[in-house]
Amino acid sequence: MNPSTDALQVFVEAVGAGSFSGAARALGRSQSTVSTTIAHLEIDLGVQLFDRATRKPTLTEAGRALLAQAQDVLAAAGRLERAALALAAGTEARLTVALSDTYQSGPFEAALERLDTRFPHLELECLIAECDDVVALVGQGRAQLGVVEAQSRYPAGLQVQPLATPMALGLYVSLRHPLAGLARIDADQLARHRALRLTTVVNPAGPDDGARGWSAPSYLMLMELAQQGFGWAALPRWLVQRYGGDRLKELAAPGWPRQVGLDLLSARRPPLGPAGQWLLQALAG
């Protein structure tokens, strides 16, 4: 048993048209060809699909049961053909993007909607990372694109494009933290309390400023630690407003909030495929 997609298409078309003659007109074939194709399909499947006792053939119980299966097979065949055409045209099968939590998710989500429409067969992977980790992921080829808090230096093999919209970092503590009750905060007051600092996997030591603190490679993790009252943290304001604003207080401290630039990274070699190039341009705005 190996029914062809052509035979299945004739079967589905006959059901939709309501007659073999209607299917013949829609497919540009003779009625006898349609009748023969369906008869051979019935032999292949070992069941009768249509009751021919009436003037217009009607689906049998077996025909009704197999109709949805035939439609699924045709849909899968269509997806296979479109995916193969995209790959033959040079579209990459998979794209990985490393994103910093400093990058507000709204523009990225909007770009993904358009990416899905334009490249429906693309396999997309999103990684959350910060600073040196984003640079390493793109530089090592683990990710093809990266959005990162602007760094002072980058490896020679990366292409760097500043994003037009910066982001803001603020200082936050839990509502029950001792600093939450103070109207103004200075550096000495911050130094008397635990700092929750951002580190990276490739550079776990972090800043060597002698201050005591806890660390994590994720702003989201730092936000959760701050919400539990373990210390103060510098966090992206958009992240707090969207996911944790009701449990945190922003501190009024000199120099805060701070505007931080964002960079869009890609590797020079190998070059981006069509989907990666499209997403690069969409994120760059």
User: What would the two tokens of residue 130 be?
Assistant: 């910060």
Q: How far apart are CA 30 and CA 35, in angstroms?
A: 9
What is the pLDDT averaged over residues 189-207?
87
What is the pLDDT averaged over residues 264-275?
90
Q: How far apart are CA 269 and CA 141, in angstroms?
A: 9
**Which pLDDT score is estimated for 189?**
93
Q: Quick one: 171 and 245 in the same domain?
A: yes
Contact criterion met (CB below 8 Å) for 7 and 37: yes
Q: How far apart are CA 280 and CA 144, in angstroms?
A: 10
Q: Which of 271, 277, 264, 278 minimizes the C-alpha distance to 98?
A: 264
What is the pLDDT averaged over residues 222-234?
96
Q: Say whether 59 sits in a helix, a strand or coil.
A: strand
The CATH code of the domain that includes 48 is 1.10.10.10
Q: Quick one: 268 and 160 in the same domain?
A: yes
Q: Quick one: 266 and 160 in the same domain?
A: yes
Between 133 and 271, residue with greater pLDDT: 133
Q: Say whether 262 sits in a helix, a strand or coil.
A: strand
Q: How far apart are CA 232 and CA 224, in angstroms?
A: 11
Q: Quick one: 268 and 229 in the same domain?
A: no
Cα-based torsion angle of the residue sequence 31, 33, 34, 35 in order, rounded to the nearest 10 degrees: 90
Structural domain harbouring 103: 94-165+262-284
**Which pLDDT score is estimated for 78?**
66
Q: Quick one: 176 and 244 in the same domain?
A: yes
Q: Quick one: 234 and 209 in the same domain?
A: yes
Query: Residues 134, 167, 192, CA angle at the centre, nearest 5°?
Result: 85
Q: How far apart are CA 148 and CA 134, in angstroms?
A: 6
At which of 88, 110, 129 does a domain end?
88
At which of 36, 53, 88 does a domain end?
88
What's the total number of domains in the chain?
3
**Which pLDDT score is estimated for 115?**
95
User: What would the pLDDT profile of 142-164 be if each residue is shown by its tens digit?
Assistant: 999 999 999 999 998 899 999 98
The yes-or-no verdict on residue 245 having pLDDT over 70 is yes
pLDDT band at 219 (very low <50, low <70, confident <90, very high): very high
At which of 51, 68, 88 does a domain end?
88
Q: Quick one: 215 and 155 in the same domain?
A: no
The yes-or-no verdict on residue 209 having pLDDT over 60 is no
Give phi and psi for 114, each to the nearest 5.
-70, -35
Non-local CB neighbours of 189 within 8 Å, separated by 6+ positions: 179, 182
Q: Quick one: 254 and 176 in the same domain?
A: yes
Q: Which of 147, 167, 158 minimizes the C-alpha distance to 99?
A: 147
Q: Quick one: 188 and 252 in the same domain?
A: yes
Question: What sign has the CA pseudo-torsion 128, 134, 139, 140?
Answer: negative
Between 196 and 44, residue with greater pLDDT: 196
Residue whose tokens read 């490679």: 217
Q: Quick one: 108 and 78 in the same domain?
A: no
Q: Quick one: 247 and 178 in the same domain?
A: yes
Q: Quick one: 237 and 182 in the same domain?
A: yes
pLDDT band at 3 (very low <50, low <70, confident <90, very high): confident
Q: How far apart are CA 160 and CA 142, in angstroms?
A: 17
